Copies of this chain bind each other. A is one copy, B any other.
Amino acid sequence: MLKQQNILDYSVGEDAQLFLLLTKVEKKVTRTGKEFLNLELRDISATISAKMWSGFEIFFHSASDGNIVKLDCKFDEYNGTPQLIINRIRLANESDGVSHGDFLPRSQRDLDEMKREWNEIIDVLTNEHLKTLIQKIFDAETKEKYFNVPAGKAWHHAYINGLLEHTLEIIKICKTACDIHPELNKDLIITGAILHDFGKTEELSYETNFDYTDKGKLIGHIVIAAMRIDEKAKEIPGFPEPLKNQLIHLVLSHQGKLEHASPVIPKMPEAVVLYHADELSAKSNAYLNVAKNDRQGESNWTNFIRLAETAIYIPPMDDDDNPKDSLFD
């Protein structure tokens, strides 16, 4: 794991030697005809733009988006926004011992523990059709992507391993629902939970930045998952057609409403459970992140959050009236 000071913690005028991830690189020309490099870079804490005014030709011909680079630079600002002025830059090489994962935010839960939890969930499935289907879908490469991909670009669980963390939360909630209602088809719900956002492995790119792929924008993760289930179930002899349809139904309907891009609404109790468990996991993660990161100065409120259609309230912390204090009464 890379150890260096976060770019958010530098001040204007400081010099630095840093490894950063290159998310955009282009050559531009000033109005007066002078060429320069314009770059976008990121570390784990933030994104920053940078300029390089000379000596970049060799680098420019070898570099492309997604490369890790090492640079010698000074922190500057332009129109009130921080930027870097680069003196020297080179591509990172193997001996530098850095990897893309050093530059992207990441779930705070332990990955191995999450993998173990996920494997145990599969192990105790009793429906052999569903178990086989999961094994077929998750070859080594797919599993790797699935374990790494964030659950979204910005709103909830928007960090490496985020989809896995999100999926485990949903399953925990679904199990509570199955405790309450033992008549629910637990294996179907759990398989639906595992696969509901599976399509995000193809909808999102996350190696160098979190963004939507062309396929993601044209088709969307919901239908991508449906197509994969259909394809793999066909390869399993005797996979029951009604079961396949139910599972695809759970995936298609998991956003609950047509206007949220589900092409069918939930038509089974199991689908309704999955929909609301997904909502609970996504919204509580999103609101808690916002409350942690977007507080406005000393106000009790964050700024306005478009997806929540409101600012979020953060109870006063250092106050006798603070209800949390009472936990220690």
Chain B residues within an 8 Å CB radius of A319: 242
Chain B residues within an 8 Å CB radius of A205: none
Q: Which residues of A contact B (CB under 8 A)?
A: 11-13, 26, 31-33, 77, 126-130, 169, 172-173, 176-177, 179-181, 183-185, 187-188, 214-215, 217-220, 222-223, 226-227, 230-231, 234, 240-243, 245-246, 248-249, 252, 258-269, 272-273, 276-277, 279-281, 283-285, 287-288, 291, 297, 300-301, 308-313, 315-316, 319-324, 326-327, 329
Q: Distance (Å) between the CB of A264 and the closest chain B CB? A: 5
Among B183, B218, B276, contact of A276 (Cβ-Cβ < 8 Å): B276
The residue on B at minimum CB distance from A228 is B230
User: In the bound complex, do residue B313 and residue A267 qualify as a contact, i.e. CB atoms below 8 Å apart?
Assistant: yes
Among B231, B261, B268, B320, contact of A312 (Cβ-Cβ < 8 Å): B268
User: In the bound complex, do residue A284 and residue B263 qualify as a contact, i.e. CB atoms below 8 Å apart?
Assistant: no
The docked-state distance in angstroms from the alpha carbon of A288 to that of B180 is 12
Chain B residues within an 8 Å CB radius of A130: 323, 326
Whether A218 touches B31, Cβ cut-off 8 Å, given contacts A242-B316, A269-B287, is: no
User: In the bound complex, do residue A284 and residue B269 qualify as a contact, i.e. CB atoms below 8 Å apart?
Assistant: yes
Additional pairs, 18, CB under 8 Å, beyond known A185-B315, A246-B315, A249-B313: A26-B297, A126-B326, A126-B327, A129-B323, A187-B327, A188-B323, A214-B300, A217-B301, A218-B248, A219-B252, A223-B226, A240-B321, A243-B326, A258-B258, A259-B259, A268-B287, A276-B276, A276-B283
Whether A214 touches B245, Cβ cut-off 8 Å, given contacts A13-B32, A323-B130, is: yes
Chain B residues within an 8 Å CB radius of A287: 266, 268-269, 272
User: In the bound complex, do residue B280 and residue A177 qualify as a contact, i.e. CB atoms below 8 Å apart?
Assistant: yes
Chain B residues within an 8 Å CB radius of A260: 258
User: In the bound complex, do residue A245 and residue B215 qualify as a contact, i.e. CB atoms below 8 Å apart?
Assistant: yes
The residue on B at minimum CB distance from A227 is B230
User: In the bound complex, do residue B176 and residue A129 qualify as a contact, i.e. CB atoms below 8 Å apart?
Assistant: no
Q: Distance (Å) between the CB of A242 and the closest chain B CB? A: 5
The docked-state distance in angstroms from the alpha carbon of A267 to that of B283 is 11
The residue on B at minimum CB distance from A231 is B231
The docked-state distance in angstroms from the alpha carbon of A261 to that of B310 is 14
Among B179, B261, B320, contact of A172 (Cβ-Cβ < 8 Å): B179
User: In the bound complex, do residue A173 and residue B172 qualify as a contact, i.e. CB atoms below 8 Å apart?
Assistant: no
Whether A324 touches B218, Cβ cut-off 8 Å, given contacts A268-B312, A283-B276, A329-B126, is: no
The docked-state distance in angstroms from the alpha carbon of A277 to that of B227 is 27
Whether A273 touches B284, Cβ cut-off 8 Å, given contacts A128-B329, A242-B321, A246-B218, is: yes
The docked-state distance in angstroms from the alpha carbon of A180 to that of B280 is 11
Among B128, B173, B248, B258, contact of A176 (Cβ-Cβ < 8 Å): B173
The docked-state distance in angstroms from the alpha carbon of A310 to that of B218 is 11
Chain B residues within an 8 Å CB radius of A169: 180
The docked-state distance in angstroms from the alpha carbon of A127 to that of B322 is 10
